[in-house]
Structure 1
Amino acid sequence: MTIVVPVSGTRGHTTHWKSGFYRIALAAGVPVVPAFVDYTARTCGAGDPIVLSGDISADMDKFRAFYQGIEGKYPDDDGPVLLREELDART
């Protein structure tokens, strides 16, 4: 079975990613395969599966590393690779 969930879930700027993909994958015990469309480089692809540990910060560090340097069509609308839980922990 494959579930494809766009993590941003919106078309405008956000302060964080929505966490549904994380919660679904963690509860199901399935890895997340990060994918991208790099508008500037005119490339797309997918990375290696990321097995979630339940440590949100450590898991999201893997996504931050993967998406580093990848730019969408509207980069001003891109929010940080950050879940609300991480944002809440910072305040």
Structure 2
Amino acid sequence: MSPNIPVLPVNIPKTEGVFTKWLGEKLLRLSGWQIKGNFPNEKKLILAVAPHTSNWDFVIGVIVKLALGVKLNFLGKDSIFIWPFKIWLKALGGIAIDRKSAHGVVGQMVEKFAKQEQLILVIAPEGTRSKVIEWKSGFLHIAKQGKIPVLPVQFDFINKQVVFYQPRLITAEISAELRHFKQIFNKDCAKNPQYF
């Protein structure tokens, strides 16, 4: 086991693939990236990943997912879950979301968290790689309604580190919580800081 790859706690959902874990560890080592921090021992989590300014965020994220051997899920518009991409997206942990649903995305995800014993959802609060004034607050609404801890995760392209901060239960007003999370992340470490 590489010293920069933490061992996952018991409650974290894990993948079964020995080869994919080995491949992830090799790719992580070859790319020079490190993992700093640990996953909390929670069966359900929302990972708030920022800054999200490049497609490289996804690439690094997949490598880290493979290296850790962790089962992660992400949201996608149901319209992209078509053959042949549907098979690949679901294998990566994609969850198709119907934006026109009466429950809305928040309601759908609160319901999904309630039905599943283990679920880790990865969300980029910015909602896009482009520069935005306001972050999306849906991840906080899901976390608050579902009583799911939020784990801030930062991609630091300067130091080549994926940083796992301390998890937080959402108890305050959503606007205050959103300000708190925005203060955690450093724009200078983004792949494209001008977009953060």
TM-score, scaled to structure 2: 0.36
Give unpaired runs (5+ residues) of structure 2.
Answer: 1-118
TM-score, scaled to structure 1: 0.72
Q: Is the deviation greater in 63-72 or in 19-28? A: 63-72
Counterpart pick for 1:11 among 121, 129, 137: 129
8 Å Cα contact 2:127/2:136 also seen in 1: yes
Corresponding residue SS for 2:178 = helix
Corresponding residue SS for 2:189 = coil
8 Å Cα contact 2:137/2:178 also seen in 1: no
Q: Deviations over 1:25-83 (max 9, x none)?
A: 111111100001011121112111111113234423432342146520111000xxxxx
The answer for the alignment partner of 2:192 in structure 1 is 74
Please, what is the CA RMSD of the aligned residues?
A: 1.8
Give unpaired runs (5+ residues) of structure 1.
Answer: 79-91
Matching of residues 53-72 of structure 1 within 5 Å: 53-68=171-186, 71-72=189-190
| Alignment: residue pair count | 78
The answer for the alignment partner of 1:28 in structure 2 is 146
Identical aligned pairs, as a percentage? 28
- Structure in which a larger fraction of residues adopt helix: 2
Letter in 2 for 1:22: L
8 Å Cα contact 1:8/1:17 also seen in 2: yes
Distance 1:58 1:5, change over 3 A: same
- Mark the structure with the bigger radius of gyration: 2
Letter in 2 for 1:48: Q
More RCO (CA 8 Å, sep 6+): 1
User: How far 1:9 moved relative to its partner?
Assistant: 1.4
1-structure distance, mates of 2:156, 2:179: 20
1-structure distance, mates of 2:183, 2:136: 18
